[in-house]
Amino acid sequence: MKILVCISNVPDTTSKISFTDNNTKLNTSGIQFIIGPYDEYALSRAIELKEAAGGTVTVLNVGEADTEPTIRKALAIGADDAIRVNAFPKDAFYVASQIAAIAKSENYDLILMGRESIDYNSGLVHGLVGELLGIPSVSPVMKLDVEGGKAVMSREIEGGKEIVEASLPLVAGCQEPIAEWKIPNMRGIMSARTKPLKVVEPASVTDNIKLLNYELPAPKGACKMIDASTPEKLFDLLKNEAKVL
């Protein structure tokens, strides 16, 4: 089976976010970038499928050269090779178009992604890629098994779960507990340097979106503690101070 895993390069969840250039750019100084956590589950599942049934796992990232440490970490975890589309990932449509351009000529059986990136969290790329390629896309997938050219997936829905079957090839946006979370081992880290990492130039895609500027959410106010014996105080604060009652 030929599997493509799309990984995003995102700030560590503990990062302190700030902006530069008149609030039009993320200030990346001091920020540690990681593989999107959902993407890491997708990668782990891809490796499990490969280990069980053979095949190859290719990781793909749309990003500039500074994403290569993140790509190499994916190789250390166990992907066989990697492709970096050498472009700034402007928005979800741009990223999806680049992924589709690569996938068109490569005939992957499965294209696995995270349910959403954890920077822009739009959860769009998998759906867009499915549409651009004319193949099914399913998200968020919590269980995925492949048998006889079909994938059986379990999807989280409001108040329950849905079992979906679809023929390959397909795109899946993954989340835990789809796979045992994998961490690289020393041998993987060592071999990551010698695995192929191909850099390709981007396909041309029209710009649909223009970024004006970023804003931080208003800081959280101080927390007021109310003694359990004085519930009327809570009522008063909600009514007169927060004005939500």
Ligand X SMILES: Cc1cc2nc3c(=O)[nH]c(=O)nc-3n(C[C@H](O)[C@H](O)[C@H](O)COP(=O)(O)OP(=O)(O)OC[C@H]3O[C@@H](n4cnc5c(N)ncnc54)[C@H](O)[C@@H]3O)c2cc1C
**Window contacting another protein (CB under 8 A); options: 68-76, 118-126, 149-157, 203-211:** 68-76
Per-residue x/- track, 88-107, ligand X (CB under 6 A): -x-xx--x------------
What is the dihedral sign for C-alpha 38, 44, 50, 52? negative
The minimum distance between CB 192 and another protein, in angstroms, equals 8
* C-beta separation of 43 from 182 below 8 A: yes
How many beta carbons lie within 10 A of that of residue 234, not counting itself?
A: 13
The minimum distance between CB 37 and another protein, in angstroms, equals 11
Enumerate residues 205-224 that contact ligand X by CB under 6 A.
211
What is the dihedral sign for C-alpha 38, 42, 43, 44? positive
Question: 88: helix, coil or strand?
Answer: coil
**Sole binder of another protein in the list 152, 190, 199, 209 (CB under 8 A):** 190
- The partner in contact with residue 185, picked from another protein, ligand X, none with C-beta cut-offs of 5 to 8 angstroms by kind, is another protein
Measured in degrees and rounded to the nearest 5, phi and psi for residue 101 equal -60, -40
State yes or no: residue 76 binds another protein (CB under 8 A).
yes
Task: Using only the alpha carbons of the chain, give its radius of gyration.
Answer: 21
**Window contacting another protein (CB under 8 A); options: 15-23, 67-75, 102-110, 121-129:** 67-75
- The partner in contact with residue 83, picked from ligand X, another protein, none with C-beta cut-offs of 5 to 8 angstroms by kind, is none
In angstroms, what CA-CA distances link 214 with 7, 25, 152, 190, 210? 24, 8, 40, 39, 12
**Window contacting another protein (CB under 8 A); options: 69-77, 113-121, 160-168, 169-177:** 69-77
* C-beta separation of 131 from 92 below 8 A: no
State yes or no: residue 189 binds another protein (CB under 8 A).
yes
Q: Give me the residues that bind another protein (CB under 8 A), please.
A: 69, 72-73, 76, 183-190, 192-193
